[in-house]
Amino acid sequence: MGGEKEVFLRSEGVQELLTLTTRQFVGWDDALRRVSGQTTEAGDAMDLWHILSFLALQPNLQVEKKLAFEKIKIASLKPETIRKYVAKAQRLGFIATIESRGTRHIQLTQTGIAVVADTMRSWVEDFGQIQQQYFPR
């Protein structure tokens, strides 16, 4: 034991990075609660992140509804479970079902856009500070 990877994992920079990662997901959960006015169950925040960030990467921030449950990939979740989380995101006001050219789509709402963008800005800033301090190129 004590190889290069183990030494790296024990470094101050990695410890700060792990602490920040945990804090960022607590912050994400707080943002969901603050914006929606509702609490999410333990574990739901991460699945909601995957769904909302997936939509944030799509053209026009939307995907055809009948394809969404197969296209959104969350490790170990079946399409019917993803459907449940999409419904939850809709109830919380982060996603809306819209008609476009005779086809139903799910799309990020302005609230969904704001919560993802604000979270990403925070992550970019905080992770950038750690990179500059501990892992300069």
- Spell 13-49 as b/e; 16+ CB within 10 A means b: eeeebeebeeeeeebbbebbeebbeeebeeebbebbb
Counting the structural domains of the chain, the total is: 1
Domain residue limits at 12: 4-134
Residue 42: the pLDDT is 66
Residue 96: the pLDDT is 96
CATH number for the domain that contains residue 30? 1.10.10.10
Q: What is d(CA 60, CA 76) in angstroms, rounded to the nearest whole number?
A: 27
> For 27-75, how does the pLDDT look when each residue is reduced to its tens digit (9 = 90+)?
888 888 888 888 777 678 888 988 999 999 999 999 998 888 888 877 7
The end-to-end CA distance of the chain, in Å, is: 28
Average pLDDT over the chain reads 88
> For 3-35, how does the pLDDT look when each residue is reduced to its tens digit (9 = 90+)?
888 888 889 989 998 898 888 888 888 888 888
Residue 75: the pLDDT is 72
